[in-house]
Structure 1
Amino acid sequence: MTTISEKRASGSRTYIAQGEYAIGDCEAAVISTILGSCVATCLWDPVARVGGMNHFLLPEGPPSRSDVSSFGANAMELLINGLIRHGARRERLRAKVFGGAEMYKGLTNAGNQNGTFVLSYLERENIPCDGQSLGGAQARRVEFMPALGKARQKLVSDASQIVEKRPTPERTSDLELF
C-alpha cells in the first residue's frame, strides 16, 4: 500500500478505509466510511462543486511510520492538496467532521484527541466547520455527497452489521442525522 491513497468518486458509492481519502465532483457520487474513534473530515468547495472525505486514525504518529496518511495533519494536507488539484480553492473550502467516539470506556482517549485535533486544525487553517458530530460512544456510518457538500450519518451500535444501501432522495438540510 502506498502512503497516499486517493480514490476518485465518480457517480457511484466509493468506500474509504483508514488512511484513505476520496474526491468527487459528480452530483451522483457518494463517499462513505465507518468510524469509531477515527475521524472523517468532509471538505468541499461550493463554487467549484468538488469535495472529498478523509479517514484518519490518530492526530499524529511517529516519524518512522510509512502509513502517514493515517495521521491527522498528513491526512488533512493530502485531502486539501487533492481538492486543489481537482479545481478547488483553499480559501473557499468548507468542512463537516465526524467520529471521535470513545469505543471502549477508559481504554484510550484517541477519539477525543482526534476530535480536538480536527477542530483545532480547521480553525488554524481558517476553514469554516459548518457541521460536526464528534464524541459519544457509538460507531458512525457517514455518507458524503462531495459535489453538493451534503453529509449524513447513522449511529450504529455494531458497525459490523451495517449493510450498504442507496442514498435516500435529496433532503433540504445539508447535515442529516438518521
Structure 2
Amino acid sequence: MLKTAGNAPMTIRRNVLQGEFEVSRDPDVVLTTVLGSCIACCLHDPVARIGGMNHFLLASPPSSRSGLGDDARRYGLYAMELLVNEMIKLGAVRATMRAHLYGGANMHSGMRAIGTENTRFAEEFLRADGIELVRSDTGGVRARRLDLQPATGRVRCRSVQGDVPQAPVARVPVTTGDVELF
C-alpha cells in the first residue's frame, strides 16, 4: 500500500494482483492493476458509495482440478462471486451495482484466445447476475494499466506502450551434412 501526498489529500494506492480482489468505501483509496489477457471487473454502487476490483487469470479452472483452495480466486467464477459478495457485506445492493470490464487482450498471436474467453465469461456472468455493464475496454493486443477510485466509481484505463511480447521462435541448427564419428 503506497501513500502519496502533494497538493492533493493523502491517497492510498492498493495494487490488485492476479487472484486478488479489493473492496472499499474510503474516498482516499485508489485500486490499481496491470492487465494483459486477464480481466479486471470494477463494480460500483453509487448509492452506497462502495466499489471494488478483482483480477482473474482464466474464466474457469481445468475440469480435472478439485480442491483449488486459494488458487480458486484466479478463476473468473470465484473471483466474480467474491467481489459481489464482499460488496454486499459492506452494504452495496446488487440491483444498484454498475460494472466496468477491462483487459482481455490477446497478447500472443497463434495461441488460444484467452482474453476473448475471459471477456465473454465476465459479460455472461454480469448479465446472469443482473448487474449492468456500463463500460468495457477489452480485447486488442495491448496491456492496460487501470486505476479505480472505489468510493466514486471513477476509472482511468491507459494502454501500456511497447511491443507485444511474442512467443520465441525455435531456431533450426545449421548443418553442413558432415558426420563425425568418435
Give TM-score, length-normalised by structure 1.
0.81
Q: Equivalents in 1 of 2:108, 2:46: separation in Å?
A: 37
Superposed structure 1 runs of 4+ greater than 4 Å apart: none
Q: CA deviation at 1:91?
A: 1.3
- Aligned with residue 93 of structure 2, among 89, 92, 96: 89
Counterpart CA distance in 2 for 1:11 and 1:73 is 31
Deviation at 1:107, TM superposition (A): 1.4
SS at match of 1:119: helix
Quick check: 62-71 or 99-108, which moved more? 62-71
Aligned pair 1:143/2:147, yes or no?
Answer: yes
Retained in 2: the 8 A contact 1:139–1:158? no
**Mapped partners of 2:161, 2:112: distance in 1:** 18
**How big is the shift at 1:106?**
1.5
SS of residue in 1 equivalent to 2:48: coil
User: Which segments of 5 or more consecutive residues in structure 2 lack a partner in the other structure?
Assistant: 2-9, 164-182
- 1:3 alignment counterpart: none
Partner residue in 2 for 1:169: none
Partner of 1:111: 115
Which residue pairs with 1:175 in the alignment? Answer: none
Change (3 A) 1:151 1:113: same
- Is the 1:11–1:26 Cα contact (8 Å) retained in structure 2? no
Q: CA RMSD in A?
A: 1.7
* Residue aligning to 1:22: 22
* Counterpart AA for 1:125: D
Percent identical pairs in the alignment equals 41
Task: Give 1:33's aligned residue.
Answer: 33
Counterpart-to-counterpart distance in 1, 2:29 and 2:134: 20
Mapped partners of 1:82, 1:129: distance in 2: 19
> Could you list the per-position Cα deviations for residues 17-56 of structure 1 after superposition, in whole angstroms to 9, with x for gaps in the alignment?
0000011112221000000000000001111100100000
Gaps of 5+ in 1: 1-6, 160-178
1:91-112 deviation digits (Å, cap 9, x = unpaired): 1111001000010112121100
1:12 matched to 2:12? The reply is: yes
Partner of 2:51: 51
Larger radius of gyration: 2
Aligned length: 151
CA distance in 2 between counterparts of 1:141 and 1:150 reads: 14
Task: State which of 123, 145, 154 in structure 1 corresponds to 2:158.
Answer: 154
TM-score, length-scaled by structure 2: 0.79
Q: Distance in 2 between matches of 1:47 and 1:106?
A: 44
Deviation at 1:90, TM superposition (A): 1.3
